[in-house]
């Protein structure tokens, strides 16, 4: 056949006519143009079997020396994995299978060349260390395992929007450069904002509360930034948060919404990603029943029976939660007010709590955490909507009223009763797919040790 020219890095007038999933009975004997990168190659001397991968999967390309010009065949023979090529050729059935197809090239264009072999395979989970993978994250994301993870992540995001839109929520966007801490504390990333200091937002909390005045029901899916010096497999410095806020409800209503949202997500993934789940060897959690709810005080009482060192007001060890609940979704409710941010509404005193000096630690809050085993996925609460109560709570937490004047002034105009939650997208993905490391639930992880790529 005539050598039509190979121009490296030039697409020219070539355009894809079919994705891999469209190579089927309906196009047998048709000439198609397929484009992608080489995921694997088998060399049998005068015959090459090339797996060409696009965003939907692989197409087998059968390349015979006698049917191509010498320099085209030799160029293909020398190409390494990850090189990009375009193929114009005829679709035929594979001889050894009635259900598979391959493309016999009539013309080939090499679009980019991989100059060195990748340090890990795309076909399977490699035993190579995660830091080596993250240094070449764009290549790492081509691996089958992560392709499946991020296809499921895409379904999760779509299903979240579907559920909230169907329940009359408005998607919003809030500032990520802020003047003061959203939730107090020191876990902030300072930045220069023209001639003054600012911070990256820990959450959209105060803005989404204000937006309930205008839209009643709002949600945002966006990054949050936490400068926590943690080196665990479940912490990120930059994470995606699903933040939901609703007017004229309390925290019990928001638990219902969150429970239903998680079950909607699980059902959507089961419906749309069975191929990916099978490839991962993963079965999603059973969510046929509403999630159980246990108060913080009851949990402490139960744990104290076998762990005498536990005191009311303490955090609960992840190991103890794992031993107690296993792998299931559940809510821990009515946390001590002392453990919650200033905007969380308080409720009655807890009779079993031990008094202490200073602020009475027995005060409870209208709050909840959604857990999966030992992993915290979400926190939510009824918010304070009375300006005086909010200012009193800020004072107890050692926060300056002046720093939050932009927020407090809104309460002079009647902020409605409201409640909400924030859900960690990466943690949810990590939990339901049983990922070992949260860094494999985000595209380019940021943590205490990593700022590149």
Mean pLDDT of all residues in 89-100: 81
Do 259 and 359 lie in one domain? The reply is yes
Give domain status of residue 122, yes or no.
Answer: no
Average pLDDT, the chain: 91
pLDDT of residue 330: 97
228 labelled as ligand-binding? Answer: yes
pLDDT of residue 323: 86
* Digit-coded pLDDT (tens) for 300-325: 999 988 887 888 888 898 889 988 89
Asked whether the beta carbons of 401 and 407 are under 8 A apart, the reply is no
Kindly tell me if the per-residue pLDDT of 248 is higher than 80: yes
pLDDT of residue 9: 65
226 labelled as ligand-binding? Answer: yes
Q: CA Rg, the chain, in Å?
A: 27
303 labelled as ligand-binding? Answer: no
- Cα-based angle 425, 430, 433 (whole degrees, multiple of 5): 120
* Digit-coded pLDDT (tens) for 133-177: 999 999 999 999 999 999 999 999 999 999 999 999 999 999 999
Instruction: Kindly indicate the confidence band of residue 358, based on its pLDDT and cuts at 50, 70 and 90.
Output: very low
Kindly tell me if the per-residue pLDDT of 4 is higher than 50: no
Closest C-alpha among 218, 193, 214 to residue 205? 218
Instruction: Kindly indicate the confidence band of residue 361, based on its pLDDT and cuts at 50, 70 and 90.
Output: low
Terminal CA-to-CA distance of the chain, rounded, Å? Answer: 44
Give domain status of residue 453, yes or no.
Answer: no
Do 396 and 314 lie in one domain? The reply is yes
- Distance in angstroms (rounded) separating the CA atoms of residues 5 and 110: 10
Domain boundary among 44, 77, 112: 112
450 labelled as ligand-binding? Answer: no
Kindly tell me if the per-residue pLDDT of 243 is higher than 80: yes
**pTM for the whole structure:** 0.92
Mean pLDDT of all residues in 105-125: 86
Instruction: Kindly indicate the confidence band of residue 1, based on its pLDDT and cuts at 50, 70 and 90.
Output: very low
Do 142 and 247 lie in one domain? The reply is yes
Kindly tell me if the per-residue pLDDT of 69 is higher than 90: no
* Digit-coded pLDDT (tens) for 182-230: 665 568 999 999 999 999 999 999 999 999 999 999 999 999 999 988 8
427 labelled as ligand-binding? Answer: yes
Asked whether the beta carbons of 312 and 273 are under 8 A apart, the reply is no
Do 106 and 155 lie in one domain? The reply is no
Token code pair at residue 254:
């928001």
- Distance in angstroms (rounded) separating the CA atoms of residues 303 and 297: 10
Asked whether the beta carbons of 76 and 63 are under 8 A apart, the reply is yes
- Tell me the residue range of the domain where 39 lies: 20-112
137 labelled as ligand-binding? Answer: no
* Digit-coded pLDDT (tens) for 420-441: 999 999 999 999 999 999 999 9
426 labelled as ligand-binding? Answer: yes
Give domain status of residue 293, yes or no.
Answer: yes
Q: What are phi and psi of 379, to 5 degrees?
A: -130, 145
pLDDT of residue 97: 64
Kindly tell me if the per-residue pLDDT of 288 is higher than 50: yes
Residue ranges in 182-328 assigned as alpha helix (H): 205-215, 251-272, 274-280, 296-304, 318-325
CATH number assigned to the domain comprising residue 32: 2.40.50.140
Do 295 and 435 lie in one domain? The reply is yes
Closest C-alpha among 198, 199, 177 to residue 188? 199
Residue 446 CB neighbour total at 10 angstroms? 16
Give domain status of residue 139, yes or no.
Answer: yes
Cβ-proximal residues to 116 (8 Å cutoff; 6+ apart), any chain:
80
234 labelled as ligand-binding? Answer: yes
Kindly tell me if the per-residue pLDDT of 290 is higher than 80: yes
82 labelled as ligand-binding? Answer: no
**Number of domains the chain contains:** 2
């Amino acid at each position: 056949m005539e050598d039509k020219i190979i121009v490296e890095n030039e697409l020219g007038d070539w355009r894809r006519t079919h994705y891999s999933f469209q190579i089927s009975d309906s196009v047998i004997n048709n000439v198609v143009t397929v484009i992608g990168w080489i995921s694997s190659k088998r060399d049998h001397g005068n015959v090459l079997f090339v797996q060409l991968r696009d965003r939907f999967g692989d197409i087998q390309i059968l390349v015979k020396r006698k049917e191509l010009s010498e320099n085209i065949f030799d160029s293909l023979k020398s190409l390494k994995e990850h090189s990009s090529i375009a193929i114009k050729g005829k679709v035929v059935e594979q001889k050894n299978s009635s259900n598979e197809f391959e493309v016999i090239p009539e013309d080939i264009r090499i679009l980019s060349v991989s100059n060195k072999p990748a340090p890990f395979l795309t076909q399977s989970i490699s035993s190579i260390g995660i830091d080596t993978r993250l240094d070449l994250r764009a290549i790492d994301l081509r691996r089958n395992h992560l392709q499946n993870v991020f296809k499921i992540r895409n379904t999760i995001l779509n299903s979240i929007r579907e559920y909230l839109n169907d329940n009359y929520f408005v998607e919003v966007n809030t500032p990520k450069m802020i003047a003061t801490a959203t939730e107090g504390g020191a876990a902030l990333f300072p930045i220069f904002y023209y001639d003054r200091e600012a911070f990256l937002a820990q959450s959209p909390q105060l803005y989404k509360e204000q937006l309930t005045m205008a839209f009643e029901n709002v949600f945002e899916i966006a990054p949050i930034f936490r400068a926590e010096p943690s080196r665990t497999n479940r912490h990120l410095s930059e994470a995606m948060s699903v933040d939901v806020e609703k007017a004229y409800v309390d925290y019990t209503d928001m638990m219902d919404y969150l429970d239903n949202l998680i079950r909607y997500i699980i059902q959507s993934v089961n419906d749309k990603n069975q191929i990916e789940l099978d490839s991962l060897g993963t079965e999603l959690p059973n969510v046929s029943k509403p999630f159980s709810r246990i108060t913080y005080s009851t949990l402490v009482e139960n744990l104290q029976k076998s762990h005498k060192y536990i005191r009311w007001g303490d955090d609960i060890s992840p190991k103890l939660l794992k031993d107690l609940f296993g792998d299931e979704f559940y809510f821990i409710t009515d946390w001590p007010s002392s453990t919650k941010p200033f905007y969380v509404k308080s409720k009655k005193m807890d009779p079993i709590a031990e008094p202490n000096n200073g602020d009475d630690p027995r005060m409870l809050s209208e709050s909840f955490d959604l857990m999966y085993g030992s992993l915290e996925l979400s926190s939510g609460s009824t918010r304070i909507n009375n300006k005086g109560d909010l200012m009193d709570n800020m004072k107890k937490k050692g926060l300056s009223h002046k720093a939050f004047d932009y927020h407090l002034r809104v309460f002079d105009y009647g902020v409605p009763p409201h409640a909400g939650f924030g859900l960690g997208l990466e943690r949810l993905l990590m939990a339901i797919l049983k990922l070992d490391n949260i860094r494999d639930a985000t595209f380019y992880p940021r943590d205490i040790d990593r700022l590149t790529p």
